[in-house]
Amino acid sequence: MTEASDDLSIQALNLTRIFNGLAAVDGINLNIKKGELFALLGPNGAGKTTTINMLCCLLKPTGGTARIMGYDILEEPFEVKQVIGVSPQETAISEHLTPEENLNLIGRIHGIDARELKLRTRELLETMGLGERAKDQVRKFSGGMKRRLNIMMALVHNPAVLFLDEPTLGLDPQARRAVWTYITRLKGLKTILLTTHYMDEADFLADRVGIMDRGKIVALGSSRELKTSLLEKHTMVIYAWNLTQRVISEMRGRYARVEVSDGTMTVTDKKLDFKEIIDLLHASGAVVRSAYIKEPTLDDVFLHITGKELRE
């Protein structure tokens, strides 16, 4: 085992992958602590899957290296593969096998004792809500059920580190929520590296988020940190009656940006005092029906850093 910090499960050290002269992953450095759920967020083609593929020894880096639970991905791939579980972007399952048989296959490859494997399989199927369908062939399952099985297959050998590549890709909102629930149950028990291009997914699930664009990690921190530290402006949205031209002009004199459309006023500035704005409007005779400070999203953060939107 190579030298590494005891607290870290995943360490990427100047990890680079070049395809045909273009850097798909461009020298990323990353430290993920044991038990942490870390999300790599970015648009399609940002380099998220290439990063995961290198970390789980599917793809050799062109430069740099990484350590998983202290094992070097270049020097000790066999050891790395023993401590990781991978749920790929595709639902990579055997369609003519039952969920039980799919789980048994992975367990047997990992050399798990038959009795223990039976217990783990049963427990996983029950926990993930597929207990009643354990003997049915997977090809009859819905997309959400297949996604859950995809994750279970990464868990059956009880790995220390779990890689989830776009775990809810193509699912309807209800099925996505169900998958989120199962992932939430694993928080703290495993180190999880999740890739997603859904900002709400990263926001909801992750302890920390790394925003990726063009092969680089362009921002790193907790969702709250990213949203508060990187955004210099705040936005307040007010629905009101009787907005006079006079008060609109006064507001425009005080704040950086004021837009009014169909009785909705949007005020944007570096600093906003909620009470002060409401009092000003009341004093002008406007009737405020509702008002709120618009929470910045990770999409706003992405827009702020890269100048483009994070497309979902």
* Among 89, 235, 266, 297, contact with other proteins (rule: CB under 8 A): 89
Does the protein bind other proteins through residue 110 (CB under 8 A)? yes
Does the protein bind other proteins through residue 168 (CB under 8 A)? no
Give the nearest distance from C-beta 84 to other proteins in angstroms: 7
Number of residues binding to other proteins, judged by CB under 8 A? 28
* Among 10, 25, 84, 301, contact with other proteins (rule: CB under 8 A): 84
* Among 23, 33, 74, 101, contact with other proteins (rule: CB under 8 A): 101
Nearer to other proteins, 89 or 297 (CB): 89
Nearer to other proteins, 121 or 223 (CB): 121
- Residues 50-79 contacting other proteins, CB under 8 A: 56-59, 78
* Among 46, 93, 194, 265, contact with other proteins (rule: CB under 8 A): 93
What one-character-per-residue DSSP string does the chain give?
-----TTEEEEEEEEEEEETTEEEEEEEEEEEETT-EEEEE--TTSSHHHHHHHHTTSS--SEEEEEETTEETTT-HHHHHHHEEEE-SS----TTS-HHHHHHHHHHHTT--HHHHHHHHHHHHHHTT-GGGTTS-GGGS-HHHHHHHHHHHHHTT--SEEEEESTTTT--HHHHHHHHHHHHHHBTTBEEEEEES-HHHHHHH-SEEEEEETTEEEEEE-HHHHHHHH---EEEEEEEE---HHHHHHHHHHSSEEEEETTEEEEEESS--HHHHHHHHHHTT-EEEEEEEEPP-HHHHHHHHHSS----
Nearer to other proteins, 97 or 171 (CB): 97
Q: Which residues make up the interface to other proteins (CB under 8 A)?
A: 56-59, 78, 81-82, 84, 86, 88-90, 92-97, 101, 104-106, 108-111, 137, 153
